[in-house]
Structure 1
Amino acid sequence: MSLKHSYTLIAPFYDALIDRATRAARRHSLAALPATPGRVLLAGVGTGLDLPHLPPQHRYVGVDLTHAMLRRVGPRTGAADFAAVQGDAQRLPFADASFDHAVLHLILAVVPEPARCLGEVARVLKPGGCALVFDKFLRRGQRAPLRRLANPLLRRVATRLDVVFEDVLAQTPGLRVAHDRPALAGGWFRMIRLDRE
């Protein structure tokens, strides 16, 4: 089953499964967006669960693979300067250095090629910009046998359980870790700020 097809089927239930569990972490992550107004990419915007927590001074562009997810964004836009674009976060339809900052919430562990996704974000970020990552990652050398056992099935339906962030970052020149903090589930979910050099 393709990712696009899976998330078209999941879209009606996504908020009920994800919203409450991730709301506080999303709010905390988004508070790290710089105060100076800029253009911000929301890669994998989904149903727009980040939108109620976005600082109002920025202009936002949200990209998602599926129309079914983007259709649910509308009621959440409020007064935000927000534009939705259907597209692939692994092949962003934007010019180099066209965003001041980027938000990657629950996307790197979903896409089939997380290094390609992060590389695309690095490409569209201006030097001096930042990328805010919130997702679930294994650490290098972490055994996590149950996650690894469930991964072959879950990666076909909704998400990967085997992504090692450090391995993804190692394939993405131009980004450096500014901070990395545990967020949920005993540190399985992490909040990471990356700065574009």
Structure 2
Amino acid sequence: MNNSWNRVIYKIGSRIYDKIFNSGIFLRARKHVFESITFNNKDKILFVGIGTGADLKLIKHSNLDITAIDLSPDMLKKAKEKYGNSSIKFMEMDAQQLDFNDGSYDYIVGSLILSVVPEADKCLQEMTRVLKPEGKIIIFDKFISKNEKLSLLKKLLRPLIQVLGTDIGLRFEDLFREHEKRLKVEEDQPIMWNGMYRKIILNKRG
């Protein structure tokens, strides 16, 4: 997994992404993630890895200050085609190196991004950096469970699946350990596939 290869993967994937990850069980999961979250028009919101804009249809964004970034120009093009007439600011950007000042956003949304970037730790570090004190990071992603040991099959498949642009062996608890001095878990609940996909809300310590 690296940025250059991910651009290739998502150039291809942009053509079918919505049919898989914005329909059926994934659409129901996304709806569940946002159903209890209320943004107000004073909030600055950053969507990291916006992809084709799947999350944007689930919120009332007409009066919100939203910035949406993605590494893939092809995925971003799809999002712009849907919401280009809105006030949303779309930017091509690496989630591991955000071009924003410290403490810029009240909310940061990361759907299916930590498991696809080359360095999840660096991505979460950057999300934390640009988040305001007491701000929230909303995560929807897949992780192996806290006590799960990767089977031999998964160990063998993991590098092959990473070539397709995603990691099936990322453990949130291991990732979070390096950030718990700055973040605290406000919510952590299973969303789909027996808890493989989770909704996690992190709050930045003041």
TM-score (norm 2): 0.89
Superposition deviation, residue 26 in structure 1: 1.3
Q: Indicate the percent of aligned positions where both proteins have the same amino acid.
A: 32
Residue 68 of structure 1 is aligned with which of 62, 74, 77? Answer: 74
Q: Which residue of 2 aligns with 1:30?
A: 34
Contact 1:139–1:164 (Cα < 8 Å) also in 2: yes
Aligned length: 197
Match of 1:103 among 103, 109, 122: 109
1:178 to 186, 193, 200: 186
What SS class does the counterpart of residue 4 from structure 1 fall into? helix
Shift in Å, 1:147: 3.5
Name the SS for the 1:117 alignment partner.
helix
**Which residue pairs with 2:199 in the alignment?**
191
**1: distance between equivalents of 2:27 and 2:84?**
17
Alpha-carbon distance, 1:144 to partner: 4.2
Q: In structure 2, what is the equivalent of residue 122 of structure 1?
A: 128
Unaligned runs of 5+ in 1: none
User: In the alignment, is residue 149 of structure 1 matched against residue 152 of structure 2?
Assistant: no
1:135–1:63 distance in 2 versus 1, CA, 3 Å: same
Would you say 1:19 and 2:22 are equivalent positions?
Answer: yes
| CA distance in 2: counterparts of 1:78 and 1:119, whole angstroms | 29
Q: 1:54 maps to what in 2? A: 59
Match of 2:6 among 3, 6, 18: 3
Aligned to 1:44: 49
Q: Following TM superposition, by how much is the alpha carbon of 1:175 offset from its aligned partner in structure 2, in angstroms?
A: 1.1
Please give the TM-score of this superposition, normalised by the length of structure 1: 0.93
Relative to structure 1, is the Cα distance of residues 81 and 25 closer, same or farther in structure 2, using a 3 angstrom cutoff? farther
Q: How large is the RMSD of aligned CA atoms in angstroms? A: 1.7
Change (3 A) 1:55 1:174: farther
AA of the residue aligned to 1:85: M
* 2:156 counterpart letter in structure 1: L
- Give the distance between the partners of 2:182 and 2:193, measured in 1 at CA: 30
Q: How much has 1:79 moved relative to structure 2?
A: 7.0
What residue ranges of structure 2 are gaps of 5+ in the alignment? none
Give the match's secondary structure for 1:129.
strand
Counterpart Cα distance in 1 of 2:93 and 2:11: 14
Measured after TM superposition, the shift of residue 121 of structure 1 is 0.3
Instruction: Give the drift of 1:55.
Output: 3.0
CA distance in 2 between counterparts of 1:7 and 1:78 reads: 20
**CA offsets per residue over residues 83-119 of structure 1, 9 Å max, x none?**
1110100101111111111001000111111111011
Paired with 1:102 and 1:47, the residues of 2 have a C-alpha distance of 17
